[in-house]
Structure 1
């Protein structure tokens, strides 16, 4: 059982992670690079979107070339271009693997039928809990955006994701009147309490850029959750079919 879960999650993580990494490369990454330049007090420069700063198809992205001076006390960061793309892609694949592992484990514990279709539905629920609900209070932020204390935001985000997941479980799995009512209360409670925000919304990044990034980030997150659930369910279903065929032979 554990081997099947890990294998399905690995395949799903690779497929969903690579697809999402490509999507990020053409959507959220250019916005992050622009925001970093605003944060450093400069103006964004347009360049080709290749992994090495050159051509990559016919698309064009915003690239900011950081200096090579890493003096004492400086924080290391991957260089723009191929290095940054590779690091981002590896992290995205790892994230997709984690999402697939969570979804498969939850479906097994719930004794749910696992298929591509059910995986998509569970993936949508995962996106609602870990992406959409927290974004109602704390939208995805660019570098240089105004924000409250990090620890306060982390606590609220985790509490919101857990409460939303529990509320969806009660409403959709238990599905009794008391469970539906309790689930709604759980999902609404974090937003009644309110997310932590800074005293003043003063940002170095243009509002249009922040809005575009928030929307693009949610789309990317929806894609990675949906793909992770769908592919994991498909691989699991294929494994079950092969086991049934071998048992019948």
Structure 2
């Protein structure tokens, strides 16, 4: 089987498994917290409120608001609560997992060295650091009813932070030289020195602070599951298809 076909088949199989698995994790965690937060949002009179229902940067249902938030003033269509909403969440998670697996598997293949599932797990954890941990230091996952900066500004900062962190990790991993370590530190730190876009002054989240904290923890854990499975399964399937 050609390398390109191996990458595509690996990504599709990995995406299906990871998308379904993380959807189950979200249903027990972040999705329930979002529903609770929507009660506060619907009861309040927020001028600007954001949702995290679409596919972080991270994942449908708990993705980073910089990538998936939308304003209530936008009257775009949304899936109905219940089965339709859950179905769209699963579909979005599967597509997101396939997309990230294509990138991750392509990088592993480009590296040109055989990898075990343990090596793939390390690749996945690196992706977790780039896509979840680094951006959330400036833009933590947000519940509905949380004031936020304009979507475009958040997206630009989120993408820049993820790419800079990825470049920094790559330098540390593949260039074991002092100049590479210094440049890596600069790349990782630079987005946080610049600072993430700030929410409008004087506005407050509608959901209780305790609920926000629980949501952040649940979002991080579901993202960790996503990336750990993505890395280990991508490397495992790639070896099998190449064989």
Is the contact made by 2:171 and 2:184 (CA closer than 8 Å) also made in structure 1?
Answer: yes
- Deviation (angstroms), 1:201: 4.8
- Deviation (angstroms), 1:221: 1.0
CA distance in 2, matches of 1:74, 1:174: 49
Partner-residue secondary structure (3-state), 1:169: helix
CA distance in 2, matches of 1:105, 1:184: 25
- Deviation (angstroms), 1:110: 2.4
Distance 1:31 1:200, change over 3 A: same
Q: What's the counterpart of residue 160 of structure 1? A: 161
- Deviation (angstroms), 1:111: 2.3
Q: What's the counterpart of residue 134 of structure 1? A: 135
- Deviation (angstroms), 1:74: 5.1
Q: What's the counterpart of residue 59 of structure 2? A: none
Flag structure 2 segments of 5+ consecutive residues without an equivalent.
45-73
- Correspondence list, 1:114-153, <5 A: 114-153=115-154
Aligned residues: 211
Is the contact made by 2:120 and 2:234 (CA closer than 8 Å) also made in structure 1?
Answer: yes
TM-score normalised by L of structure 2: 0.83
Partner-residue secondary structure (3-state), 1:40: helix
Q: What's the counterpart of residue 53 of structure 2? A: none
Q: What's the counterpart of residue 34 of structure 1? A: 36
- Correspondence list, 1:82-231, <5 A: 82-198=83-199, 199-231=201-233
Distance 1:167 1:21, change over 3 A: same
Match of 2:10 among 8, 11, 18: 8
Partner-residue secondary structure (3-state), 2:212: helix
Distance 1:201 1:122, change over 3 A: farther
Is the contact made by 2:128 and 2:224 (CA closer than 8 Å) also made in structure 1?
Answer: yes
The structure with the largest alpha-carbon Rg is 1
Is the contact made by 2:114 and 2:239 (CA closer than 8 Å) also made in structure 1?
Answer: no
Residue-by-residue CA offset, 1:106-158 (whole Å, 9 max, x unaligned): 11222243321111110000010011000011000111102111111111111
TM-score normalised by L of structure 1: 0.81
CA distance in 1, matches of 2:131, 2:162: 5
Flag structure 1 segments of 5+ consecutive residues without an equivalent.
43-72, 244-249
Q: Give the alignment's Cα RMSD to 1 decimal.
A: 1.5
Is the contact made by 1:119 and 1:232 (CA closer than 8 Å) also made in structure 2?
Answer: yes
